[in-house]
Structure 1
Amino acid sequence: MSVEKIWIDGKEDTATTEERAYLVPFIVEHSDKVVIVLPGGGYEHRADHEGAPVAEWLNQNGISAFVLHYRLSPKQQRIPLEDGQRAICYVRAHAAHYGIHPSKIAILGFSAGGHLAAMTGTVYEEQSVTVAGVTQSISSRPDAMILCYPVITMEHYGHEGSRLSLLGAEASPEQIRAHSAEQCVTAQTPPAFIWHNTDDDVVPVQNSLQIAMALEQHHVPFELHIYESGGHGQGLALEHPVMGNWTKQCMIWLHRQGW
């Protein structure tokens, strides 16, 4: 079955798929809310089970979704963030086409995709987007963030593989700090739902605790769930006896936010 790809990177069609960023839509008829899904993979690959199955779960709950195929960027620093920003701007600019409310666009990421989601939610800008011959200024700020066992910091407690893939071995302290999402939180950061497992031996739970503390410091609303077990990288984990509860709690939170 062919997959619809919406190219968002502005590159020529001659570029290879792996060199380009695109969105895959999962649209629910008569749904005006949407979540953009960012799979994890340490900025080295994108985990399939954290992409389409998550979009389908959202669809089953009456929410449209897009899965972002962001570019993998060894030592390219801003490229994934540019893709996250472009994804938000594309969906917002084309909201009328998809029947989506332009102020109900959330972003959801797992692991390194959680880092990209957190960076997209804290480092945003206005971009010029042309739709049907009309150019307008569109904000790349999402309206809510869902961070699932996220990589947050590039400093202590961070995930070394993600840091090396994104920044390289020679990254300066300034670059490391600029790509640590907890350092980028402001009072304008969107509300967040965060969950993690205490026995995660890949991305330490301190990552979620740090972003939660930064959000609290800036008085940004958030909900944090820390589960006793579940390890790392389980995605929806619907059958897990402990962390499997996250999907229910997340949907309750989304509904409370107006999704």
Structure 2
Amino acid sequence: MKNQIKRLLYLITSLLFATFSLFGQEVIALYPEGQVPFAKNNAEPPKLTVFKPEKNLARGTAVIVCSGGSYGGRANRVEGIPACKKLMEAGITAFLLDYRLPKVEAMDHKEIVPLTDAQRAIQYVRENAKKYKIDPSRLGMMGFSAGGHLVSTVGTHFEKSELYNPKGTSLRTDFMVLVYPVISFADSLTHKISRMNLIGPELTNDNILKYSNELQVTEQTPPTYLTSGMDDKTVDVKNSLYFAAALRQKYVPVELFLYEKGRHGYGVNNNQAKVQWIDDCIEWIKKERYKK
């Protein structure tokens, strides 16, 4: 009976993560079966969903997109999916990453699991660049809110990884787009729910400093596009301002697009503004300012 249940669960999982979803996007299991690092029983399977542009529009650039949700959920419907569609329409191949949410009951070392999944996404896309007709040196990441914290962690912690990487594939993204991001875990700046979900419940000074990414910027941190609302009551705009200042001190190119009014979670369309950051950002990406 147990074997039959296992076979049934495997069949259901296979159907859910088959090559094509109901909406025509390719869905990819992030890791081979049975090789998900740090996973315990019944852990959610991380995955990538591919949004391919029309052949005549494709530019060879790719972006991995991480929705926000305080490290307790993923706001794909209002953030990740609309962003992927906008990128796809502009000729940029988008990969929506369903990274695992840090939960003690589902994984070991929960604080490094989202980062490991994000690094695996970079590894997968780079190693399969020919399949998707993209340039592996033109791979960026976009993150919203806590997803922005994850992406900024990728951009400041790429030299260390727990990921199995036998080919030595670069885990440094070529550019970052951070949308009303959580950056700092310092008491005066952080979004406390995101911090608690990732590194809590025991908050050590070492982990607070380690994941305060404004303190981790180096000359090798990727060029960055930042957008936030000056009146954001959920994630203080100072997260973006401090990160931009840190990047400039290391001579890392940075573009800052601020709204006078912009509620947290506006996604790709701030309905309190006429000019949308996503259009400006796409132009920034197309100009390839991130190239050395």
What secondary structure sits across from 1:226 in the alignment? strand
TM-score where L is the length of structure 1: 0.91
**For 1:150, which of 157, 160, 181 is the aligned residue?**
181
The answer for unaligned runs of 5 or more in structure 1 is: 130-134
**For 1:22, which of 47, 64, 83 is the aligned residue?**
47
The aligned counterpart of 1:132 is none
**For 1:224, which of 252, 256, 272 is the aligned residue?**
256
The aligned counterpart of 2:67 is 39
Instruction: Decide whether the 8 Å contact of 2:65 with 2:96 is kept in 1.
Output: yes
Q: How far apart in 2 are the matches of 1:258 and 1:27?
A: 23
Identity of aligned residues (%): 39
**For 1:186, which of 218, 222, 241 is the aligned residue?**
218
The aligned counterpart of 1:247 is 278
Higher strand share: 1
Instruction: Decide whether the 8 Å contact of 1:203 with 1:232 is kept in 2.
Output: yes
The answer for unaligned runs of 5 or more in structure 2 is: 1-21, 105-109
Given residue 246 of structure 1, which amino acid in structure 2 is its aligned partner?
A: W
Runs of 4+ with >4 A deviation: 13-18, 126-129
Structure 1 pair 225/79, CA: closer, same or farther in 2 (3 Å)?
same
The aligned counterpart of 1:51 is 80
What secondary structure sits across from 1:231 in the alignment? coil
Q: CA deviation at 1:10?
A: 4.4
Aligned length: 253
Structure 1 pair 141/26, CA: closer, same or farther in 2 (3 Å)?
same
Q: CA deviation at 1:256?
A: 1.6
Given residue 223 of structure 1, which amino acid in structure 2 is its aligned partner?
A: E
Q: CA deviation at 1:74?
A: 3.5
Structure 1 pair 99/151, CA: closer, same or farther in 2 (3 Å)?
same
The aligned counterpart of 2:145 is 111
The aligned counterpart of 2:28 is 6
Q: How far apart in 2 are the matches of 1:71 and 1:93?
A: 21
Structure 1 pair 107/118, CA: closer, same or farther in 2 (3 Å)?
same
Structure 1 pair 10/211, CA: closer, same or farther in 2 (3 Å)?
farther
Instruction: Decide whether the 8 Å contact of 1:201 with 1:231 is kept in 2.
Output: yes
The aligned counterpart of 1:67 is 96
Larger-Rg structure: 2
Deviations 1:142-182 (A, max 9, x none): 00000000000011211000001001131200011101111
Instruction: Decide whether the 8 Å contact of 1:194 with 1:222 is kept in 2.
Output: yes
Q: How far apart in 2 are the matches of 1:41 and 1:241?
A: 22
Structure 1 pair 174/128, CA: closer, same or farther in 2 (3 Å)?
closer
TM-score where L is the length of structure 2: 0.81
RMSD between aligned residues: 2.2
